[in-house]
């Protein structure tokens, strides 16, 4: 039984042109697969607006969050106004949009009423997950209007997570049970479930979210739990690129990548995919494709296990912001590492998975990255947290903290080909390198933010000239 999961991002569902593409893609693929499942993100920018609304509610700024709700309502209604929907479908959808936004307003109101108390994190996740619920209903209605059996499904009943609100991790076993009970019977009836990305709930039924960009993660978890043959991420760029095309115009699409390479890329800043989505797919060897919704004829990027054994080559360069800590002394690094880990956990709910450190008898250096799923403010919040905690450490006053950029070069067998390593270092001639770490398919270099653009360009030239 061939099963395909397709996830559509915020730009695909946020505009009529994107939705038209989505529809023709579904009409085409429904003939080719036995079971088809869709995962949708909120309309582009909607999650940011919802986060802002939750924030204003906590400050009891009633006018502020009401204004956001009004804008969101207008935006969603305008979108469906432009879609070719029948009167019945359209008015049912309008009622759904009003009901969801009304409930969300209610949640904001109660946060505002209790603003002197610590906000319940599940209330915030309930607010910021409304975008996906709105989008799923719009997409399902559009499918039904075109004689496809689309049904909107809230993943709160399906994706069961831990209770790290804002950055939760699904429990695959419990999720699989829910899927077998709720989703499999629908698929047998040839229904196309349109499932909300990004959201889940704890075993106790409290709403959670999977971190920024979490709809990819939803698609991957569903793929694993339903034994999908492939998972496709439809986005608004041509695939996974050699570097960020908005910064370097010569960036090109990478046709194939291994799971390990793509995981490193996502972890080290390529915002195209949620970093934690790769692990489950890799374990079950489910192929992943990243494709452009506006160019469905192009193949995009394929991630699978065959790519694990390909020839040595540099494939991509990416960058992510991090924090560096430096002290003019030697000695053990673990107290500072523990401090950083605690601060990070408090702010983002994740532990430090990657830390680049170096040490000599007279110098200590530690640098860490903040996962993109932790959201835009995480870096700043961690900095504030660390500033408070550093003085509690013996020798804490000796450490200085500064923003750092981690540039990561991804490639096949980067570790075994010294020529590749040498060429990277030569390309960075004249740029101060603060730290370095090597993985099997990656080399990360810590540089000052002011030299990052030049470093990326110079390494990218190597990437497109094949090392």
Give least dist CB 87 to ligand ASP, A. Answer: 30
Question: Which has the closest alpha carbon to 408: 419, 424, 422?
Answer: 424
Least spacing, CB of residue 230 vs ligand ASP, in Å: 19
Residue with the shortest CB distance to Mg ion: 213
Nearer to ligand ASP, 144 or 212 (CB): 212
In angstroms, what is the minimal distance from the CB of 191 to ligand ASP?
A: 23
Contact of 260 with 281, CB cutoff 8 Å: no
Token duo for residue 313: 């080559």
The span of 206-214, 287-295, 322-330, 359-367 binding Mg ion (CB under 5 A) equals 206-214
Q: How far is the CB of 198 from ligand ASP (least distance, A)?
A: 4
The answer to whether residue 207 forms part of the interface with Mg ion (CB under 5 A) is no
CB of 208 to Mg ion, least distance (A): 18
Q: Would you call 78 exposed, middle or buried from its count of C-beta atoms within 10 A (0-12, 13-18, 19+)? A: exposed
Segment holding 357, helix H or strand E: strand 355-360
The SS3 of residue 133 is: helix
Q: Is 303 helix (H, G, I), strand (E, B) or coil?
A: strand
How do strand 207-209 and strand 199-202 relate by DSSP bridges?
antiparallel
The binding site for ligand ASP (CB under 6 A) comprises 10, 41-42, 47, 131, 197-198, 212-216
Query: At a CB cut-off of 8 Å and minimum separation 6, what does 60 contact?
Result: 112, 113, 115
Q: Which does 197 bind (CB under 5 to 8 A by kind): Mg ion, ligand ASP, none?
A: ligand ASP
Residue 212 interacts, among Mg ion, ligand ASP, none and using kind-specific CB cut-offs from 5 to 8 Å, with ligand ASP
Q: Which does 126 bind (CB under 5 to 8 A by kind): Mg ion, ligand ASP, none?
A: none
Which of ligand ASP, Mg ion, none sits in contact with 202, Cβ below 5 to 8 A by type? Answer: none
DSSP 47-113: HHHHHHHHHHHHTT-HHHHHHHHHHHHHHHHHHHHTS---HHHHHHHHHHHHHHHHHHHHHHHHHHH
**Smallest separation (angstroms) from Mg ion to the CB of 220:** 12
Nearer to ligand ASP, 137 or 212 (CB): 212
> How many chain residues are in contact with Mg ion, going by CB under 5 A?
1
Specify the residue, 150 or 214, whose C-beta has the smaller distance to Mg ion.
214
Give 122 or 216: the residue with its C-beta nearer to ligand ASP.
216
Helix (H) or strand (E) segment spanning residue 410: strand 400-412
Within 208-247, the residues that bind Mg ion by CB under 5 A are 213
The answer to whether residue 18 forms part of the interface with Mg ion (CB under 5 A) is: no
CA distance 83 to 18: 11
Instruction: Quote the CA–CA distance of 313 and 311 in Å, as a whole number.
Output: 6
Residues that bind Mg ion (CB under 5 A): 213
């Amino acid at each position: 039984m061939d099963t395909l999961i397709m996830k559509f991002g915020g730009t695909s569902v946020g505009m009529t042109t994107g939705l038209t593409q989505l529809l023709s893609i579904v009409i085409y693929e429904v003939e080719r697969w036995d079971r088809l499942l869709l995962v949708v993100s909120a309309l582009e920018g909607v999650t940011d607006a919802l986060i802002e609304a939750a924030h204003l509610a906590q400050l009891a700024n009633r006018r502020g969050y009401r204004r956001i709700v009004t804008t969101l309502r207008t935006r969603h209604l305008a979108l469906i106004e432009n879609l070719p929907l029948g009167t019945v479908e359209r008015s049912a959808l309008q009622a759904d949009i009003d009901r969801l936004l009304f409930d969300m307003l209610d949640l904001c109101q109660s946060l505002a009423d209790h603003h002197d108390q610590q906000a319940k994190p599940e209330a915030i996740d309930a607010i910021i997950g409304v975008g996906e619920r709105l989008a799923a209903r719009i997409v399902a209605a559009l499918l039904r209007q075109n004689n496809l059996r689309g049904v909107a499904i809230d993943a709160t009943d399906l994706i069961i997570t831990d209770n790290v609100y804002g950055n939760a991790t699904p429990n695959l076993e419990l999720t699989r049970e829910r899927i077998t009970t709720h989703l499999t019977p629908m698929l047998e009836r040839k229904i196309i479930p349109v499932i909300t990305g990004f959201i889940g709930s704890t075993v106790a039924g409290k709403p959670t979210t999977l971190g920024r960009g979490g709809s990819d993660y939803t698609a991957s978890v569903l793929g694993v739990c339903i034994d999908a043959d492939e998972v496709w991420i439809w986005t608004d760029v041509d695939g996974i690129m050699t570097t960020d095309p908005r910064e370097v115009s010569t960036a090109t699409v990478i046709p194939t990548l291994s799971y390990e390479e793509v995981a490193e890329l996502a972890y080290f800043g390529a915002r195209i995919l949620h970093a934690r989505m790769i692990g489950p797919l890799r374990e079950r060897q489910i192929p992943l494709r990243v494709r452009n919704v506006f160019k469905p004829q192009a193949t995009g990027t394929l991630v699978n296990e065959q790519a694990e054994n390909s020839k040595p080559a540099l494939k991509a360069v990416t960058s992510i912001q991090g924090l560096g800590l430096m002290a003019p002394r030697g000695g053990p690094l673990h107290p500072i590492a523990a401090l950083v880990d605690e601060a990070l956990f408090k702010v983002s709910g994740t532990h430090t998975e990657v830390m680049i450190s170096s040490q000599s008898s007279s110098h200590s250096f530690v640098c860490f990255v903040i996962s993109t799923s932790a959201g835009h403010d995480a870096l700043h919040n961690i900095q504030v947290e660390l500033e408070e905690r550093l003085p509690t450490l013996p020798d804490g006053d000796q450490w200085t903290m500064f923003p750092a950029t981690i540039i990561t070069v991804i490639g096949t067998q980067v570790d075994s080909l010294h020529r590749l390593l040498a060429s990277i270092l030569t390309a960075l001639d004249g740029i101060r390198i603060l730290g370095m770490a090597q993985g099997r398919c990656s080399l990360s270099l810590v540089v000052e933010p002011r030299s990052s653009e030049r470093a990326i360009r110079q390494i990218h030239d190597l990437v497109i000239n094949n090392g």
